Structure 1
C-alpha cells in the first residue's frame, strides 16, 4: 500500500523548493559574518565550499561539510542535484557574484532559487586600504585565466587590481610587466585582506624582492612604462611592428578601416578567415574584453604565429582553427561578423560565410587581386553594401628629395545581411544555397 506524502506543516517550507543560500566569507572567518549568514549556516543540512572556507566554520555548525571537487564548474549541476531537498548553503570568498561561484549557481538553479548573502569583496577591501576610488580602478582576474590576459590592461598611469591565482602570481605578474615594458610599475601585494594575518608587500616589478607568501592575495599595480616602451592603443590600427609576421599581414591603415566596417560591440563573435598574422581578430578582441573571435588559417606555422601574437597583445583567448576554409567552418558557432582576408576564390567560401551569418550580421572582404575583385564586384551587384578601394602611399626618400611610394590598392566589400536573406540554420555552410 502506498504511503501518502505528509503535508508540509504550517509555517514550514518544502525543502525541495528551498533556495540555495550562498554565504560570502572573508579571511576574518566566522567573526566577520552577519547574524543572517550565521543563522543560515546553523540551519543548513549541508555546506559546500573550498577546504579553506570550510575550515573557517566553528564546530557548532553541524551540517555535512562537502568540499568542491576539481574541476569545480562542471561539478556544480551534479552536486546540487545530489543534495536536492536539503537545506543547502554554499560558501564563497567575499562577494559570490564578483568573479565567484554565484554566477555558476545562478545559471544552474536560476536567480529565483538563489539567496546570496555577500561579504565585502577583496577588491572593496583593497580600495579601502589603498585609498583608490573603486570606480576608477580596473580589475583583472588571473584565476583560471592566462597570465597574458593582464597585458591588455597595461597603459601608463592606470591603476589595476589583479586577482591572484595562487602564491606564485605576484612574481609572475612582476615578470610579465617587466617583459612588456612596464618594469618601473609599483606593485603592492595585499594578503589575507580583512583577516588577522593581513599584510602588504611593496616593490617595483623589475626588482621584485619578495618570496611567495599567502595564496590568498591581490596585487595592486600602478602602471609606469620604461623609457622607450611601446605604446599600445586600444583604437584599431596598431603599428605593423606590433605583430610577428611573415608578410601576411593586413597593414595598419587598411586594418583600421576594416575593423571600423566590422563594427565590433561587446559580446559579439568574429570569424577571421585567412588569419595570416591574426591582426584583424586580435584588434577585434582588443575592442572589448567580452568580444570573441575565431581565426581560421590553413598554414600550421602561421596558426602558431597567430596564437603568439594574440598572447603578446593581451588577448590569449583568441581561438585558432588550423584548416582550409570553407571546410574548417562547418562546426564553428554562428558569427556576428565575418572577415575574409584570403582565399576568396576557394569554391563555396563566400556562400558558406553568407549562409552562416544571421540577419544583421556583417561581412567584410579584402583583396588585392583582379580575380577576387571581380568576384566581390559580382556579390556587390547581387547584395549591395559598399564597394571601395583603399589606397595608401608613404613618403620615402627619392635621392635628396621626398616622394610617394604607393602600396598595392585594396578592394574592400562590406555588407550587412538583411533579414529577408537569413538562412534557417547554420548547418547550410557548404554553398548549397546560391547567393
Structure 2
C-alpha cells in the first residue's frame, strides 16, 4: 500500500461505465468525470468520454499492477478519476485500487453479469461466474456440473471458441452456449454457437460474455462437487490415494477458502487437486520428487480445472524451506525421509492441520510416535470391494491405511 498521505483516498473516484458510454451513466458520475484533473483507464473506456471531460487522459500501462502505486503517487495532489468497465468492484480495477490506496469512492455501473442475467432471465444468485481474463481456460472445468448455469467473463473474441473446445474435451459438448456482446450498448447482439461443433469463430466482438447451460454427454465421467472423485478421473501409475480414502482424508484436512495446502509426495496430485476444487480461492503446492509424476500431476490439475496448482519437483524436506507457510499439510509419501515429519510440523502455524497416511509398518511406527508426542487422532481405514468368487460374490480387502490427523495448538507446539 502507498504510504499514508501519498494518495488522498478522497481524491480517487472510480467510475463504472458500460458499452452505452456517456449516455448510460448517471449525472453524479458525469460530474465526477468533468471535475477530474486526471482520467485513468483503458483506451476503450477513455474514448467513450466527451471533450467536456478535460482532465489529462492516461491509459493504463502494461503490466498494470506493478505500475499502479507509482502512477497514483505521481498525481497525488490532483483529483483522480479512474474508469472501469461496469461494476469496478466485480472483477474490476476497484479491488487493486483499494489494496493500493485504501478506501476509495466508487460509482458503479451495472456489470456485464447483471446485464446477461437480465437478458437470459437467469436469477443472478443461481449463476456461477468464472473469469478467464488473464487466467487459463482450463479453470472453467472445475465448474462443469450437469444442469449448472455459468457466465464466463471473456478475455477477447477468441474466448468463446476456446470455451466450446473445452466443453467438448471435458464431456460437456451438448451444453447450450450463448455469446452476448456489447451488453447495454447500441451494438449489443447474442449468438448461439453449438459447443458440440468445432467452433472456431473469432470474428465476434472482444467485449463479450459466454453463457453456458451445462449438459453432460452420455457416458461422460461424472465429477461431483465434493471430495472423492472417481479414480478414473486421474492419470496415474498406481501412486494414487484411492477414492474412499481420499474423501476421508480431505474431510479431516478441512479446506477453507483462501487456505494453502502442502501436499507432500504428490503421486498423481489427487489430494491437492480436490483441495483446490473445494473453493476457487483454495491454493495448494504439491511436492513430488519424480519428474514424470510431477508432469502427470500438472496434466491432472489442468484436466480437472485447477491449472494453478503449484508443482514443485524435488525431495522433501529439502525443498520445503522455500515454500510459503501452509494452513494444512498432507503427507502421502516419504514419511521415512529423515526430518520430514518434524519439518512439516514446524512449518505449521497454530491452528494448522497435519494429516499423514501410510500403509507400511515402518511409517506406521513413526505416526504412532507422533501421536504419542502431539496427540490428535490415529485411525485405521479399511475398504473392501465386492468381487466375483466363482459363481458367488465375496469381499476383497484393500490394504488398510493408517492415518494420523492433528491440529496444532499452543499446547501441541512441542513434545508433550
User: For the superposition of Structure 1 and Structure 2, which TM-score range results when normalised by the shorter chain?
Assistant: over 0.9
**1:203 positional shift:** 2.8
SS at match of 1:139: strand
Partner of residue 125 from structure 1, selected from 80, 92, 115: 115
Q: Which residue of 2 aligns with 1:420?
A: 411
Counterparts of residues 49-64 of structure 1 (less than 5 Å): 49-64=41-56
**1:407 positional shift:** 1.3
List per-residue Cα deviations over 1:236-291 (Å, max 9, x = no partner).
11111110001111111111111111111111111100000000011111111111
**1:420 positional shift:** 3.2
TM-score, normalisation: structure 1: 0.92
Partner of residue 345 from structure 2, selected from 348, 354, 357: 354
TM-score, normalisation: structure 2: 0.96
d(CA) in 2 for partners of 1:421, 1:254: 26
d(CA) in 2 for partners of 1:212, 1:254: 48
**1:83 positional shift:** 1.1
Q: Which residue of 2 aligns with 1:24?
A: 16
d(CA) in 1 for partners of 2:226, 2:75: 49
Please say if 1:264 is aligned against 2:255.
Answer: yes
Q: Which residue of 2 aligns with 1:369?
A: 360
**1:395 positional shift:** 1.5
d(CA) in 2 for partners of 1:97, 1:211: 29
Name which one, 1 or 2, has greater alpha-carbon Rg.
Answer: 1
8 Å contact kept, 2:178–2:190: yes
List per-residue Cα deviations over 1:138-169 (Å, max 9, x = no partner).
11111111101111111111111110000000
**Inter-CA distance 211–405: structure 2 relative to 1 (3 Å threshold):** same
SS at match of 2:322: coil
Partner of residue 235 from structure 2, selected from 221, 232, 244: 244
8 Å contact kept, 1:338–1:363: yes
SS at match of 1:206: coil
d(CA) in 1 for partners of 2:156, 2:115: 18
Please say if 1:192 is aligned against 2:205.
Answer: no
d(CA) in 1 for partners of 2:137, 2:201: 19
d(CA) in 1 for partners of 2:225, 2:24: 41
SS at match of 2:66: helix
SS at match of 1:66: strand
Q: Which residue of 1 aligns with 2:32?
A: 40
- Using the TM superposition, name which of 355-364 and 15-24 deviates more: 15-24
d(CA) in 2 for partners of 1:17, 1:404: 68
Q: Which residue of 2 aligns with 1:7?
A: none
d(CA) in 1 for partners of 2:50, 2:240: 61
Q: Which residue of 1 aligns with 2:89?
A: 97
Q: Which residue of 1 aligns with 2:145?
A: 155
Counterparts of residues 307-326 of structure 1 (less than 5 Å): 307-326=298-317
8 Å contact kept, 1:73–1:104: yes
SS at match of 2:252: helix
**Inter-CA distance 277–213: structure 2 relative to 1 (3 Å threshold):** same
- Listed as ranges, the gaps of 5+ residues in structure 2 are 1-5
d(CA) in 2 for partners of 1:239, 1:15: 53
**Inter-CA distance 16–101: structure 2 relative to 1 (3 Å threshold):** closer
List per-residue Cα deviations over 1:101-142 (Å, max 9, x = no partner).
00000000101xx01010110011111111111111111111
d(CA) in 1 for partners of 2:238, 2:165: 30
List per-residue Cα deviations over 1:190-214 (Å, max 9, x = no partner).
0001111110101321124744310
Partner of residue 403 from structure 1, selected from 391, 394, 408: 394
**1:78 positional shift:** 1.3
d(CA) in 2 for partners of 1:351, 1:195: 60
List per-residue Cα deviations over 1:175-202 (Å, max 9, x = no partner).
1001111111111100001111110101
Q: Which residue of 1 aligns with 2:3?
A: none
SS at match of 2:255: coil
**Inter-CA distance 390–81: structure 2 relative to 1 (3 Å threshold):** same
d(CA) in 1 for partners of 2:10, 2:161: 44
Question: How many residue pairs were aligned?
Answer: 410
8 Å contact kept, 2:257–2:280: yes
Partner of residue 323 from structure 2, selected from 314, 318, 332: 332
**1:389 positional shift:** 1.1
